[in-house]
A and B are shown apart, each in its own frame.
Chain A
Amino acid sequence: MGDADVDQAPAASEADLHESSADSDKGLHTEGNCLGVISEGTCELVIDPDVALKACQEVLEKVKMMHTGVSTEEDDVHCSDHLEHMDIHDELVNGETCDTHKTEKSNVYTDGNSINSKLRHSKASAPSKIREEEEPLPGSCNTVKNVRRRQKNNSAKQSWLLRLFESKLFDISMAISYLYNSKEPGVQAYIGNRLFSFRNEEVDFYLPQLLNMYIHMDEDVGDAIKPYIVHRCRQSINFSLQCAWLLGAYSSDMHISTQRHSRGTKLRKVILSDELKPAQRKKDLPPIAPAPELGLSPSKRTHQRSKSDATVSISLSNNLKRTASNPKVENQDEPVRLAPQREFIKSLMGIGKRLATLPTKEQKTQRLISELSLLNHKLPARVWLPTAGFDHHVVRVPHTQAVVLNSKDKAPYLIYVEVLECENFETSNVPVRIPETRIRSTRSVENLPECGITHEQRASSFTTVPNYDNDDEAWSVDDIGELQVELPEVHTNSCDNISQFSVDSITSQESKEPVFIAAGDIRRRLSEQLAHTPTTFRRDPEDPSAVALKEPWQEKVRRIREGSPYGHLPNWRLLSVIVKCGDDLRQELLAFQVLKQLLAIWEQERVPLWIKPYKILVISSDSGMIEPVVNAVSIHQVKKQSQLSLLDYFLQEHGNYTTEAFLTAQRNFVQSCAGYCLVCYLLQVKDRHNGNILLDAEGHIIHIDFGFILSSSPRNLGFETSAFKLTSEFVDVMGGLDGDMFNYFKMLMLQGLIAARKHMEKVVQIVEIMQQGSQLPCFHGSSTIRNLKERFHMNMTEEQLQMLVDQMVDGSMRSITTKLYDGFQYLTNGIM
């Protein structure tokens, strides 16, 4: 601690200064979007913007002078870079507390320095607390000391760095960036330790980057990262598996001989061998501890269960196992920690592989359903979907709901998965299996929702017409009063029987009056009811997913819940996942990260652009899972099923031009369109045909399939030269070229681009690190990163940027290649 204290003393005072500089920065920024934060604040103190500005500028001057004096190293350039942007990080790190801080600090400038010291006190205590947490961590002591020592040696610039690192503004994005850029082992080691202080979710976002660095960069970086990874692996099965999968996937580009001995492969083996168990598990889980003695205590059984279930056998219900004893698994306590989940994933992938061998969609679908029904026998087990945002156990796969997705030679498929939410999937007990047959008790005849209208309603809802049919002949023989009511003779056997006779007949018997209905009404009702549900798609054996995806998610959940033996449980949830086998999802993951980052930037800068990053799970270099976008179908499917133009489809789905529903949908469309146009431009997303663009129920478009990004393009045909896909159909939905919405669209794009440019580093960093050691086609060539950076146009003024956007929009509109490409897709893949 001694070293650190010495360092900290001067640092603290300077940090103070810097904080004020940061704040002054904020003052400058208030010209832009951030102004909103302050003006929206609830404080009564009104800040005189002029005074604040002046104070800020003064501080800034000082900072700049210091910079020129000290910083020569690359690190420091970064450092200052970051300091300039610190306000933003501050906001990120502090989150909500940010506002109050700011108002407090504004006080400092307006009311003098009285609160300054107080502020300093609170600030300085924070980093040291973090350090206290760090110290006792295994293996970290030495390196921390090393870092300290080195830092002392070149104290001048290191102090800058250290102050940055220890300030609250230092966030995970910066940490990753320094880890990657810094050549100093000390700095790397320090950041490695610093990782422990970030929230798990923050680090998880950068897990692909961390692991890729671990695999492909030099020893020091690896050593710096490893303790953190190991620590997290011990904590969580999920993290262990994620690491193992990513390590496998990102090692795959290495030469086979080096791969075997690489650090990544070794770590992967260690993880998978399950050596990284929590050391003090027993202490952690006191309720489980007494279990072993009891042999058949619930926790014990679940453990056994999850193993046997996930491997081969279907566990027998106990009442049948009268004679057989089951000594095999009794004594093995731990080695199954990862096994059930791995088996689960493996069997899902196995299904995908086998499906790929079948020639027709129909066969694939049938096969999928029967495979899944077998899988069901092994559930529930201690398995989960890694794409979900909460802890749960998978209890059932409603196999008949699964669909095969459209793909020419592979067989990606979409499954729905019933799960039970739980506190912690590692420690909570695996739910007890409820046999499929149990549904019968919960959904017997009596409870079946009566969808048909009753006799009464029927009579009243039809306009009861006078018998004006002139042909009296038809009625003459009938003595209506005598009309006998036909009733089955025996109907008292059980309560089932009674319920079978719907209420209608009983009520109508009382009113002896014969009821007349018009045939025309029946016919009308029929066509009305059919017209009423135009939103369901026709079933098409060649496109089985269309119907399944079109069904509104809530409705699907309700339907599946009704049919599930687990549906009555309060913690029942429905998830869905696309299983991809034979596809490399690493690029998808990269795209997901970039999208997520862009979304965060736009949110932060308050640009109302809408994009939907969907979660990606990379399992190996040729398999993985995707979280499906719910309530969305591809534009191809929309057009094929509805046979309407996109605009007409909008009108059909949402209502007329002037309705609020339509206007909302249109706005959503524009905002998402602008968002994705930027994404497509920045990432150079190609292969944009209508099968790869989804339309959701609210009117948003969502681009999927990022198989061709950055430097790669499909078959190198040189098609799709325009910046992004903007067809005249899209423009029609926006209200045409002259409409307000189209201008709004361009304005959004400009704002989005400016915001993205401001945080370019954060975006580029994600891509740049992943390029390390990668053979992915998106990194083909040497100029990927340079080109990416260029697309942010750092050197342009806003006016120039605006022109650029206009140009790109015009270019895309006029672009024949887009149209050509659609035609090409139609010819080769039948996509409209």
Chain B
Amino acid sequence: MAQVEKKAGLLRKSSASKKPLKEKVVLMYDEIFAKDDPAKNNPRFWEELFLMRVNLEYLEGKLESLDGDDLMKIKDNVNSLFHHCIQALGEEHQIKVVNALQTLCALLWGVHQKNKSTSGFDIINMLMGFDKAELRMKDLMESLDTLLCGEGSESLKSLCLKLLLCLVTVTDNISQNSILEYVMINSIFEAILQILSTDPSRRQHGYDAVVLLALLVNYRKYESVNPYIVKLSIIDDETTLNGMGLVLSQALSEYNRQYRDKEEENQGGFFSAITNMVGSMFISDADEKISVQTNEAVLLALYEAVHLNRNFITVLAQSHPEIGMMSTPTTPVPTTPTTPSSMDVMNSAELPLDPNLQTSNLLITFLKYSSIVMQDTKDEHRLNSAKLCLIILSCIAEDQYANSFLHDDNMNFRVNLHRMPMRHRKKAADKNIPSRPLACAVLDLMVEFIVTHMMKEFPMDLYMRCVQVVHKLICYQKKCRVRLHYTWRELWSALINLLKFLMSNETTLLSKYNIFQLALQVVNLFNMFITYGDTFLPTPNSYDELYYEIVRMHQVFDNLYCMVLRLSTNTGQWKEAASKVTHALVNVRAIINHFNPKIESYAAVNHISQLSEDQVLEVVRSNYDTLTLKLQDGLDQYERYSEQPKEAAFFKELVRSISLNVRKNVSLNTLSQDFLLKEFSSIS
């Protein structure tokens, strides 16, 4: 990142040094900013202008120095400039097209800078004039479409996308950007799809295209009919969807790779730190250093694809070799919308031959990414990322097709999730992870999250989502009688620990959240296991173990029961919520009350003070028949995810922050694109 800035700075300087010379183009800009029609004296003015190399800095500076009123005075000339830019896009001479594109970027950018408060309509008026706006934008979009789909130079296409990104992100709140109304009418959706579906263009522009699409989809998402939403939701062309999946997968795995590199870097330092200091408490510090900036734009694109397009689910399971492990030349920072260069592993018809290469797919990459992002939810970006990850997982866990491949016994993968280094546990050796169906990896990730986030800044919302994901998976298993060979015990003990945490922090948590919702979810998960265990547990023993775990940790349930009973009997605000939990605890309590005396008497009869696990299991096994359970309703039902109205605010904020980020990078990029011009000037 710093490097890019430096580069840009250098370029700035060099162009600044030329300033006193007053290039011809600068003189011409000055003419535009004068009140008279520049073409009056020189009929070939506009033609000449676009042959000139753009001086973006000057142009932007000039525009930024004008406020609304000043601008209105030279409105005709600005309109003219805009008009001629669009006309130049149709030119055969590529240098003119390039210059026009860059000028447009600067124009859009410059006008918005100073007039952030101005309403969108005024800006349209300033740039194009109300009466002409529709026609101008139609021409512009059509030209861009032609350029993007044509056989022209790739750098040219890249510039087109930059212009579009610039156009989309000029306002902080995308929905207030009235110019986009014209982008809605004159769709460039098809052009984006074509970029994604053809190989060389995907490699070079896929990232920009995907981000652009994600942003466009979020334009007035909730207020009006956004044609991009409609169109995105009905694509069923495999090549396009796969292309999109590849771009996302590439971006995510690039992040994973960077993280791993940093982690490895830090590990060296960390170990030397350990040798120096005894009783190190620095693990969390070391951990904080390992933070690669998250990239929400990619996640948003993934979310929109998964959420809007049912067909995209199949792409998640499309296997391809693990991209991150491929040849790892120095790759550009993924947060800039320049296209990562090491993109195309997939496009060669044959997969590369490397025995060390793990097969991967978008879902695996996503799970790994999530495991990294979820480790640390302290800053807002990461919290948002983690939330979005969980939302995406919810969508996936609800989908029947996704579930069918998550639970497919034939699709086994080793998924190395990142685990937070914690003092009380050893870092699990990566190599020992068996190859299992993907549902196991999802469950692992959820268990990992549950175990690692019991902290003062309790991410309540994330916990709810996390437990819901588990619930959705189990509902599928129950419904389709899938017996996943998963060590459910880990999940059970994680959930019980969660309950324990909720109770020990009751007062602090209750002041902020309704913890009973979460407690109810957790208890109901246990109810699923207790009453429907026969339909999805892998072995009879696992059912015994469930009882063992409940009986072993009976104190937690006892305490929970006491608490909810207390709160449901007095008339506080939690009365109703707490009483729900009371009812949900019926079976758990029945089990505890049934087996505890039996175990005690067994111990007494056999004169054993401490029963072994096997002995307890034996007691459990021999006393099932006298235990009666109550069948509870609605255990296998859940509320399906819907974005509106609950999540609308979140997405609005998210899109705003993504817009800012993208804008920052685009402007950086357009400035540092002088090399492009050189390419074209040498051609022409």
**Which residues of chain A have a CB within 8 Å of any CB of chain B?**
312, 314, 316-317, 319-320, 322-324, 350, 354, 357-359, 362-363, 365-367, 369-371, 373-374, 377, 400-401, 435-440, 443-445, 448-453, 455, 458-459, 465, 467-469, 471, 473-475, 477-478, 483-491, 493, 496-497, 500-502, 504-505, 508-509, 514-520, 522-523, 525-527, 529-530, 539, 541, 547-548, 563
What's the minimum C-beta distance from B598 to chain A, rounded to whole angstroms?
Answer: 10
Known: A437-B311, A491-B640. A523 touches B589 (CB 8 A): no
A516, B353: Cβ atoms closer than 8 Å: no
B634, A487: Cβ atoms closer than 8 Å: yes
B358, A366: Cβ atoms closer than 8 Å: yes
A400, B531: Cβ atoms closer than 8 Å: no
A523 neighbours in B (Cβ, 8 Å): 534, 540, 543-544, 621, 624
Q: In whole angstroms, how far apart are the Cα atoms of A436 and B543 in the complex?
A: 38
Question: Per-residue CB proximity of B410-424 to A under 8 Å, as 1/0?
Answer: 111100000000000
Q: In whole angstroms, how far apart are the Cα atoms of A490 and B643 in the complex?
A: 13
B202 adjacent to chain A (CB < 8 Å): no
B673 adjacent to chain A (CB < 8 Å): no
Q: In whole angstroms, how far apart are the Cα atoms of A816 and B633 in the complex?
A: 66
Q: In whole angstroms, how far apart are the Cα atoms of A469 and B625 in the complex?
A: 10
B478 neighbours in A (Cβ, 8 Å): 452
Known: A323-B149, A477-B565. A359 touches B355 (CB 8 A): yes
Select one of A435, A489, A500 contacting B236, CB under 8 A: A435
Q: In whole angstroms, how far apart are the Cα atoms of A490 and B583 in the complex?
A: 22
B640, A439: Cβ atoms closer than 8 Å: no
A370, B593: Cβ atoms closer than 8 Å: no
A362 neighbours in B (Cβ, 8 Å): 412, 435
What's the minimum C-beta distance from A518 to chain B, rounded to whole angstroms?
Answer: 6
B630, A515: Cβ atoms closer than 8 Å: yes
Q: In whole angstroms, how far apart are the Cα atoms of A501 and B413 in the complex?
A: 31
B534, A522: Cβ atoms closer than 8 Å: yes
B413, A366: Cβ atoms closer than 8 Å: yes
- Can you report 21 residue pairs joining A to B where beta carbons are below 8 Å apart? A319-B237, A320-B190, A320-B239, A357-B353, A366-B319, A369-B410, A435-B238, A436-B238, A437-B314, A439-B314, A440-B313, A440-B401, A443-B401, A465-B628, A475-B590, A484-B579, A486-B524, A505-B636, A516-B630, A517-B628, A526-B534
Known: A370-B319, A452-B480. A519 touches B359 (CB 8 A): no
Q: In whole angstroms, how far apart are the Cα atoms of A541 and B412 in the complex?
A: 10
B353, A320: Cβ atoms closer than 8 Å: no
- CB proximity to A under 8 Å, residues B573-598: 579-580, 582-584, 586, 589-591, 593-594, 597
Known: A445-B400, A471-B593, A491-B640. A437 touches B197 (CB 8 A): no
Q: In whole angstroms, how far apart are the Cα atoms of A740 and B629 in the complex?
A: 56
* Residue of chain A at shortest CB distance from B313: A440
- CB proximity to A under 8 Å, residues B219-250: 236-241
Known: A366-B413, A477-B565. A320 touches B237 (CB 8 A): yes
B565 neighbours in A (Cβ, 8 Å): 477
B320 neighbours in A (Cβ, 8 Å): 370
A317, B237: Cβ atoms closer than 8 Å: yes
A516, B197: Cβ atoms closer than 8 Å: no
Q: Which of A320, A323, A514, A515 has the most CB of B within 10 A?
A: A320
Q: In whole angstroms, how far apart are the Cα atoms of A450 and B481 in the complex?
A: 9
**Which residues of chain B have a CB within 8 Å of any CB of chain A?**
149-151, 190, 193-194, 197-198, 236-241, 310-314, 318-321, 349-351, 353, 355, 358-359, 400-401, 404-405, 408-413, 434-435, 478-481, 483, 520, 524, 530-535, 537, 539-540, 543-544, 565, 579-580, 582-584, 586, 589-591, 593-594, 597, 621, 624-634, 636-640, 642
* Residue of chain A at shortest CB distance from B634: A486
Q: In whole angstroms, how far apart are the Cα atoms of A467 and B411 in the complex?
A: 45
Select one of B411, B580, B591, B628 contacting A516, CB under 8 A: B628
Known: A400-B411, A451-B481, A485-B634. A526 touches B540 (CB 8 A): yes
Q: In whole angstroms, how far apart are the Cα atoms of A539 and B434 in the complex?
A: 12
Q: In whole angstroms, how far apart are the Cα atoms of A435 and B531 in the complex?
A: 40
Q: In whole angstroms, how far apart are the Cα atoms of A541 and B149 in the complex?
A: 47
B544 neighbours in A (Cβ, 8 Å): 523
Known: A320-B237, A354-B353, A526-B533. A490 touches B639 (CB 8 A): yes
A501, B637: Cβ atoms closer than 8 Å: yes
What's the minimum C-beta distance from A483 to chain B, rounded to whole angstroms?
Answer: 6
A453 neighbours in B (Cβ, 8 Å): 535
Select one of A438, A443, A522, A526 contacting B400, CB under 8 A: A443
The 7 closest A-B pairs by CB, nearest first: A437-B311, A520-B624, A520-B625, A370-B319, A488-B639, A526-B534, A519-B627
Q: In whole angstroms, how far apart are the Cα atoms of A123 and B149 in the complex?
A: 74
B633, A522: Cβ atoms closer than 8 Å: no
B582 neighbours in A (Cβ, 8 Å): 477
B401, A435: Cβ atoms closer than 8 Å: no
B319, A373: Cβ atoms closer than 8 Å: yes
B311, A518: Cβ atoms closer than 8 Å: no
What's the minimum C-beta distance from B147 to chain A, rounded to whole angstroms?
Answer: 11
A452, B535: Cβ atoms closer than 8 Å: yes
* Residue of chain B at shortest CB distance from A486: B634
Known: A359-B355, A526-B543. A437 touches B627 (CB 8 A): no
A525 neighbours in B (Cβ, 8 Å): 534
Q: Which of A323, A438, A516 has the most CB of B within 10 A?
A: A323
B190, A500: Cβ atoms closer than 8 Å: no
What's the minimum C-beta distance from B506 to chain A, rounded to whole angstroms?
Answer: 20
A530 neighbours in B (Cβ, 8 Å): 483, 539-540
B350, A541: Cβ atoms closer than 8 Å: no
What's the minimum C-beta distance from B263 to chain A, rounded to whole angstroms?
Answer: 25
A469, B594: Cβ atoms closer than 8 Å: yes
Q: In whole angstroms, how far apart are the Cα atoms of A316 and B202 in the complex?
A: 14
A435, B593: Cβ atoms closer than 8 Å: no
A514, B630: Cβ atoms closer than 8 Å: yes
B479, A502: Cβ atoms closer than 8 Å: yes
A486 neighbours in B (Cβ, 8 Å): 520, 524, 580, 584, 632-634
What's the minimum C-beta distance from B423 to chain A, rounded to whole angstroms?
Answer: 34
Given contacts A366-B358, A505-B636, A523-B624, 18 further A-B pairs with CB under 8 A are A317-B237, A370-B351, A370-B359, A373-B319, A400-B408, A437-B312, A443-B400, A443-B401, A450-B479, A453-B535, A471-B594, A504-B636, A505-B633, A516-B628, A516-B629, A517-B531, A518-B625, A519-B627
B629, A320: Cβ atoms closer than 8 Å: no
Known: A438-B236, A523-B624, A526-B540. A517 touches B351 (CB 8 A): no
A483 neighbours in B (Cβ, 8 Å): 583
Known: A317-B239, A439-B401, A487-B634. A497 touches B640 (CB 8 A): yes
Q: In whole angstroms, how far apart are the Cα atoms of A354 and B357 in the complex?
A: 13
What's the minimum C-beta distance from A237 to chain B, rounded to whole angstroms?
Answer: 24
Known: A435-B236, A452-B479. A367 touches B359 (CB 8 A): yes
Select one of B149, B355, B359, B630 contacting A322, CB under 8 A: B149
Q: In whole angstroms, how far apart are the Cα atoms of A629 and B411 in the complex?
A: 24
What's the minimum C-beta distance from A787 to chain B, rounded to whole angstroms?
Answer: 45
Select one of A316, A505, A563 contacting B239, CB under 8 A: A316
B321 neighbours in A (Cβ, 8 Å): 370
A459 neighbours in B (Cβ, 8 Å): 631
B537, A526: Cβ atoms closer than 8 Å: yes
B642, A493: Cβ atoms closer than 8 Å: yes
Select one of A316, A435, A455 contacting B311, CB under 8 A: A435
A516 neighbours in B (Cβ, 8 Å): 628-631
B540 neighbours in A (Cβ, 8 Å): 523, 526-527, 530
A501 neighbours in B (Cβ, 8 Å): 637
A438 neighbours in B (Cβ, 8 Å): 236, 311
Select one of B240, B359, B537, B628 contacting A467, CB under 8 A: B628
What's the minimum C-beta distance from B363 to chain A, rounded to whole angstroms?
Answer: 14
Q: In whole angstroms, how far apart are the Cα atoms of A525 and B310 in the complex?
A: 36
A465 neighbours in B (Cβ, 8 Å): 628
* Residue of chain B at shortest CB distance from A526: B534
Q: In whole angstroms, how far apart are the Cα atoms of A465 and B624 in the complex?
A: 13
* Residue of chain B at shortest CB distance from A515: B631
A369, B190: Cβ atoms closer than 8 Å: no
